[in-house]
Copies of this chain bind each other. A is one copy, B any other.
Amino acid sequence: MLELADVSVDLEGERIVSDATLAVPDGSVTAVLGPSGCGKSTLLRAVAGIEPLAAGALRWDGADLAGVPTHKRGFALVFQDGQLFDHLTVGRNVGYALRLRRAPGTDRRVAELLDLVGLPDHADRMPATLSGGERQRVALARSLAVEPRLLLLDEPLSALDAGLRERLAGDLQRILREAGTTALLVTHDHEEAFAVADRIAVMRRGRIVQDGDLGEVWRAPADAQTALFLGYATVLDGARAVRLLAEAGLPAADVVALRRSALTLDPDGPLRARVREARATPDQVRLRVHVDGVGDLDAVASLDAHAGAGDEVGLHVDHTRLAVVGRP
């Protein structure tokens, strides 16, 4: 188990990561989710032993990692931009760690891994001739070859298209689980987090503001900003929250976060609203509606609904798509 205890990291004299405390249980896949520039990559680099800690401690199974150099930690890091070795073929990149330990059967293993990431014929290619997504996949395969005790992933799937991402996410989960590997993943993309992780930590401005099981965090974001970052479209508080919850027939709460799809057009819905704006997307119609006493909200309608600006409409509130914020 990896533990971060009040970890702080400075770069060029500035505090980039502050007092991060986090536990990554064995066999779990934990995602650190945070906006661009919040310090995710820096945190990963500190765990890998590349950046020194300014304060706090890192522990693996209780043993302090201070003074353990990167290559002895047994943590493989997949860099955000791959960092392939440009002078080696794809195959030799993937087999790098295997050759370091003179493991037998390198070639077979490399072929397996390349298969896994969907690049079966690429073993003899040079990295400079790969596309962005292909590079990322090779980097992933290279790290998987290590069979590390902890896999550190910096946005490993963000350069991949949805189909590939979903497939790889599934494979990754399976592989990690089978090998009992623990993984720490950082990403700005909650889809990526959900696709792979079972635990989640939300990071903001160098601090970890919430962590827990995926669903737990999802259902009860610690604060309004977290909720917005997790993909909730609107956060209401005070009287507006009370009013909305009352209309939806739900118990009152101070702050409530709504996904865009929490409000759907429904002539029989309990909430009356006036449409301000409607925009069709390939999937659905996105509405901006005004509810008296609550204000402007997002809502959706099916593509065959005919709601135009100015119309009075009814809204259905899907209580599974809203979350009470700040309740522990």
Residues on A lying within 8 angstroms of B by beta carbon are 11-12, 34-41, 80-81, 129-134, 137, 155, 158-164, 188-190, 194, 214-215, 218-219, 228-229, 231, 259, 261, 280-284, 302-304, 318-321
Nearest-CB residue, chain B, relative to A280: B215
Q: Do A281 and B194 have beta carbons less than 8 Å apart? A: yes
Chain B residue with the shortest CB-CB distance to A33 = B161
Please state if B161 and A282 are interface contacts (CB–CB under 8 Å). Answer: no
Q: Within the assembled complex, what's the spacing in Å between the Cα atoms of A21 and B185? A: 40
A-B contact pairs, 27 of them (CB 8 A): A11-B129, A12-B129, A35-B161, A35-B163, A35-B164, A36-B131, A36-B137, A36-B160, A36-B161, A36-B164, A37-B130, A39-B131, A41-B131, A81-B132, A132-B155, A133-B188, A158-B158, A158-B159, A159-B188, A162-B188, A194-B281, A215-B280, A215-B282, A302-B318, A302-B320, A303-B321, A304-B319
Say yes or no: B131 contacts A283, CB within 8 Å: no
Chain B residues in 8 Å Cβ range of A229: 161-163
- Is A162 a contact partner of B133 (Cβ separation < 8 A)? no
The 9 closest A-B pairs by CB, nearest first: A36-B133, A303-B320, A161-B188, A218-B282, A37-B131, A35-B161, A80-B132, A37-B134, A304-B320
**Cβ distance A162 to chain B, nearest Cβ, rounded Å:** 6
Report A21 CB to chain B, min CB distance, Å.
22
A189 contacts which of B11, B161, B318, B320 (Cβ < 8 Å)?
B161
